[in-house]
Amino acid sequence: MDYETVVRGRRSIRGYLDKPVPKELIREVLEIAMRAPTSLNTQPWNFYVVTGDVLDRIREGNVERNLAGVPDSREFRMGPGYEGAHRERQIGIAKQLFAVMGIERHDKEARMDWVLRGFRQFDAPVSIVITYDKSIQGSDIAPFDCGGVVNCLVNTAWSKGLGCVINSQGIMQSPVVREHAEIPDDQVIQTCVAMGWPDDSFPANSVVSTRKSVDEAATFVGFED
């Protein structure tokens, strides 16, 4: 696929086939993704790629702790809740997903099941945990660069036939992730990406999120009309 086809066609995948992803294919995706732009070539990112029993233990621990009411321990700043247009977009994508999944507003059981899927990394066969060195924590540059490499990662995966979803629910209980993925204390856990072969029969995979227009997002200065 050419670049435009990849970017326009990619979407978040929340349902996966029960089919392993070859290690060499993941290595190829990471190698390409790491060509992402980075401030002064610092390349702050590190990847902990987990699958199999290790990923199952992370899923179980994440679900158990969240259901038990253990407070969120994500290692990045959440900031204030979304308001205005940002909140409207957040609600909009939730409505799209719930509609195709047949989840009614009053159906608490189905809504909770959907939340638990996020805690389970959407049952994907692979999770890639992105970290950066704690020695550079405190600056916004490292998280910015990690965001850039994650963007390249999900697009590269899509070009290879793989699906992904960026999923901070999967690292809500960072001690669980750190223990089972063997992430040392000198690393900051930034986010994780669920990865696998898309299940085309899973309704949520058909959802394509909307984007605001260029006119809404961009201001052109100094151009002749």
pLDDT in tens, 112-164: 999 999 999 999 999 999 999 999 999 899 999 999 999 999 999 999 999 99
Residue 92: pLDDT band (50, 70, 90) is: very high
Q: How far is CA 168 from CA 87, 107, 190, 201, in A?
A: 18, 24, 8, 24
Q: How far is CA 157 from CA 5, 55, 67, 175, 204, in A?
A: 13, 19, 32, 28, 19
For residue 54, the surrounding DSSP H or E stretch is helix 52-67
Residue 217, both tokens: 């997002």
Q: Report percent pLDDT > 90 for the chain.
A: 96
Question: What does the alpha-carbon distance between residue 160 and residue 162 come to, in Å, rounded to a whole number?
Answer: 6
pLDDT digits (tens, 9 = 90+) for 10-67: 999 999 999 999 999 999 999 999 999 999 999 999 999 999 999 999 999 999 999 9
Q: What is the pLDDT of residue 131?
A: 98
CA dihedral angle for residue 187, residue 124, residue 118, residue 108, rounded to 10 degrees = -160
Which ranges in 79-127 belong to alpha helices (H)?
Answer: 84-101, 108-119
3-class DSSP state of 172: coil
Residue 1 — pLDDT band, cuts 50, 70, 90?
confident
What's the gap between Cα 60 and its chain centre? 19
pLDDT at residue 148 in the model: 97
Q: Does residue 114 contact residue 203 with C-beta atoms inside 8 Å?
A: no
